[in-house]
Chains A and B, each alone.
Chain A
Amino acid sequence: MLRLEVRASTPAWFNLALPLLAIAATLILCSGLIALAGAGVLESYSVMFTASLGDSYAITETLVRAAPMIFTGLAVAVAFRAKFWNIGAEGQLLAGAVASCFVGAIPMPGALAMLLMAMAGAAAGAAVALVPATLRVKFKVDDVVSSLLLNSVIYYALMALIEGPWKDSFSGYPISPPIEDSANFPVLIEGTRLHLGVVVALIAAPLIWFLIARTTLGFRIRVTGENPEAARYGGIHVERVLISTALLSGALAGLAGVGEVGGVHFQVMSDISPGYGYSGIVVAMLARLNPLGVVPAAIFLAAVMTGAEAMSRATGVPAFLSDVIQGTALLAMLVALLFTAYRIRRVGAAS
């Protein structure tokens, strides 16, 4: 018979082993679905792997997809550390995209435009995140619900914008006008889509790690998240910390939108984000809320997304499998997290 027993401490190697274990479990669980769709399991996974990480071009495509999820993953990781339950990274991303598109369409020197796009996008994301944070601090409104519902509000506001004032009067497509060419983020490797924003995302992760681990703000975020009462008694202004965290989290999610506008799409349309904000939650959980872990976690999910499309073309397994893998990975990780607090112990027969 097996049973759970409380652990006194968690070994350090768990941080690496648990996500890998969760990913392995996910792939095994999802192989049933692939078989059900009538394709070979190993063949399908091998197509997925080749298409996402098999050659240097594939790798750049995966990185381009990973970039927004690094930002939303960081946004969620920071927020969850303070136990500010920001489920609204999707809406904050969209707000960031709209704001940066608005700025990017104004003619000005390229470098200035990119800087202002980033600032506007971050500010817009932060402003959106401020809503659930303020509601929670002032009125004790549940932040899970308010941040989640706000996603729809932002999404339909964006739709109203591209179906209305921004609508292409010539073609009638519900898309925004493109940003200025000079505002397009520079491509780093000729012949790929690897743009400046990807590098910024990769740099952001260690910066956020530093902020959480090595600054007083990070300390206050951690303490507030773990025990707000002790934080208050210790002289920490808990409400202020929650608001700061929300602003930071929203700004990071907003930057995800900036990267998509400036580096990938150069305009805003209704499907600018295939749920990168929600994927950010999976990324953050896989990373165990560690900003450094966000990078590999985001790359994994990006590889699943790019790989799933190729697999679908090659084997006929629907590309929706990528969503199933994401969802299963989240569940597997949540189960794996159990082992940080508990150990399994075999209860032998009485001697």
Chain B
Amino acid sequence: MSVPAPLIEMRGITKSFGAVKANEAVDLSVAPGEILGLLGENGAGKTTLMNVLFGAYAPDAGEILIQGKPVRITSSADALAAGIGMVHQHFHLAPRLTVLENLLIGIPGKSGRIDRAGGLERLAEIGRQHGLMLDPDLPVSALSVGEQQRLEIVKALFRGARLLILDEPTAVLAPSEVDGLFSALRSMAAQGLGIIFISHKLNEVRALTHRCTVLRLGRVAGRVDDPANTTSSAMAQLMCGHEIAPPARGPSTPGEALLTLDGISTSKHSGTALRDVSLAVRAGEILGIAGVSGNGQRALAEVISGVRAPDAGRMTISGQTVTRFSPREVQALGLGRIPEDRMTTGLVTNLPLADSMVLPRIGTAAFSSRGLLKPEAIRAFAEAQIKAYDIRCPGPMTRAGALSGGNLQKALLARELAFDPKVLVVSQPTRGLDIGAARFIHEKFLDMRAKGRGIIVIGEDLEELLVLCDRIAVMYEGRIVGTLDSADATIARLGLMMTGAEGHS
């Protein structure tokens, strides 16, 4: 097989932010029809590199070549004109406009009029070619997350992208949606498009990509020419620079029930309501809640953390009824919570990290007395946690939003674990995190379990749940369809239950 000329080539890209070298002499190329995996831990420089390619940052050194010709990309408009399309982790769509209208944003029409018919035709054509079907007249707000992502991909193709960058596209998808995405990507590659696929999930990278470039600390740590026949652990080793063994969950004998839900139901508010949910987590136990997201997980987490009051049912913590307690009250009884969305419900991105780290406990004697803050105590607490959890940031007064996802997740974990909660409720604990960071978080959970605490892990990643949990309950349309001991559970069985099939409890 002859090697085709690269569609795009980045040579010696260097980009610094102050003293930090986010990228140093990075080379990367993608051939037409090639799917390149871009791997690296959080903070390895993947996002910076893609932002350079997409024109958001100007590199300090290095050049970008498209089909052998050097180009200057100084804005996303330049990038689009050069045939580069990017699907960000956070979508850039106008929710009130329809699918077609979103596609036509920024497209010059015919003599001042929007070319609706032409748009419809292209949309249908792209849909047919790659199996990316979308209803043109549906408003974006009515689309599922997977469909919104599909629209972002179609948008890039619509604008004539020949290279498509996808930044952790599977992080927001349900397992069933991932297959659809992959077949679309393969179809695009078959037609000669180049694709850069960024992911932490090594099994996906192995299944999809033709070649991988691995970044570590801003430099190219290695390349993998045959991902399908390379082991995940070998790739992980390239990413972290050392070997990573899966966490070992030893046997444990669960004690008394720490948190119980008995017949909890909620009215439909936003998202799926809970219907007669009963469950219990015991001391020294990790309980998984599996399910395709949008099946009531959010309501469940909100009820447990006191943000939402249930319409029926009873909840107890250590035997005490807490059904209508406020977030502060359940927290005082030893409930810790790590919310699903770090940026929107967990942290205050514009304020110093220290503020986010003390937020849930600002009224307690640790951080204030008689309504006055204790700035030294707050700072000292944040500094201690930054050290203990190796949170990479310049200091406690750094804007929280400047931290990477993995470091933010560590900060959220630190703020709860510092108070040794009896029960920890955590949603999607390692979403978007690299192997090293995920491993660290898993170990913390297992430590808690060993100390006789109870943990509820709400998640979609079945492999993670199987490794971590003692028992796994499956949620479907607001109900618990069954609970399995993880010894009896398999991905296939859980996957079936996630579609609503009854399991054996």
Knowing A216-B362, A216-B371, A216-B373 touch, does A227 contact B75 (C-beta < 8 A)?
Answer: no
Q: Please report the C-alpha to C-alpha distance between residue A223 and residue B375 in the assembled complex, in whole angstroms.
A: 16
Whether the pair A230, B345 counts as a contact (CB closer than 8 A) is yes
Does chain B have a CB within 8 A of A217?
A: yes
Does chain A have a CB within 8 A of B72?
A: yes
Does chain A have a CB within 8 A of B202?
A: no
Whether the pair A9, B351 counts as a contact (CB closer than 8 A) is no
Whether the pair B372, A222 counts as a contact (CB closer than 8 A) is no
- Which of A206-246 touch B at CB < 8 Å? 213-220, 222-223, 226-227, 229-237
Distance between B303 CB and nearest chain A CB, rounded to angstroms = 13
Does chain B have a CB within 8 A of A142?
A: no
Knowing A3-B74, A223-B348 touch, does A235 contact B331 (C-beta < 8 A)?
Answer: yes
Residues of A within 8 A of B75 (CB): 3
Q: C-beta contact mask, B82-95 vs A, less than 8 Å → 1, else 0?
A: 00000000000000
Distance between B335 CB and nearest chain A CB, rounded to angstroms = 11
- Residue in contact with A9 in the complex, picked from B305, B348, B402, CB distance below 8 Å: B402
Distance between B374 CB and nearest chain A CB, rounded to angstroms = 9
Q: Which A residue sits closest to B18, measured CB to CB?
A: A8
Q: Which A residue sits closest to B72, measured CB to CB?
A: A350
- Residue in contact with B360 in the complex, picked from A235, A347, A351, CB distance below 8 Å: A235
- Which of B327-373 touch A at CB < 8 Å? 327-328, 331, 337, 339, 344-351, 355-356, 359-360, 362-363, 368, 371-373
- Which of B279-310 touch A at CB < 8 Å? 305-307
Whether the pair A227, B347 counts as a contact (CB closer than 8 A) is yes
Does chain A have a CB within 8 A of B57?
A: yes
- Which of B43-96 touch A at CB < 8 Å? 56-58, 63, 70, 72, 74-75
Whether the pair B359, A223 counts as a contact (CB closer than 8 A) is yes
- Which of B165-194 touch A at CB < 8 Å? none
Interface residues on B, range: 35 or more
Whether the pair A226, B351 counts as a contact (CB closer than 8 A) is yes
Does chain B have a CB within 8 A of A189?
A: no
Interface residues on A, range: 20 to 34
Residues of B within 8 A of A1 (CB): 74
Whether the pair B363, A227 counts as a contact (CB closer than 8 A) is no
Does chain B have a CB within 8 A of A43?
A: no
- Residue in contact with A216 in the complex, picked from B306, B351, B372, B399, CB distance below 8 Å: B372
Distance between A80 CB and nearest chain B CB, rounded to angstroms = 13
Does chain B have a CB within 8 A of A313?
A: no
Whether the pair B307, A233 counts as a contact (CB closer than 8 A) is yes
Does chain B have a CB within 8 A of A265?
A: no
The interface of chain B, by Cβ under 8 A from chain A, is 17-18, 56-58, 63, 70, 72, 74-75, 305-307, 326-328, 331, 337, 339, 344-351, 355-356, 359-360, 362-363, 368, 371-373, 375, 394, 398-399, 402
Closest 6 CB pairs of A and B: A235-B328, A235-B327, A234-B359, A234-B360, A227-B348, A226-B348
Interface contacts beyond A223-B355, A233-B339: sample of 7 additional A-B pairs, CB < 8 Å, sorted by A: A214-B372, A215-B373, A216-B368, A222-B351, A226-B350, A230-B345, A235-B331
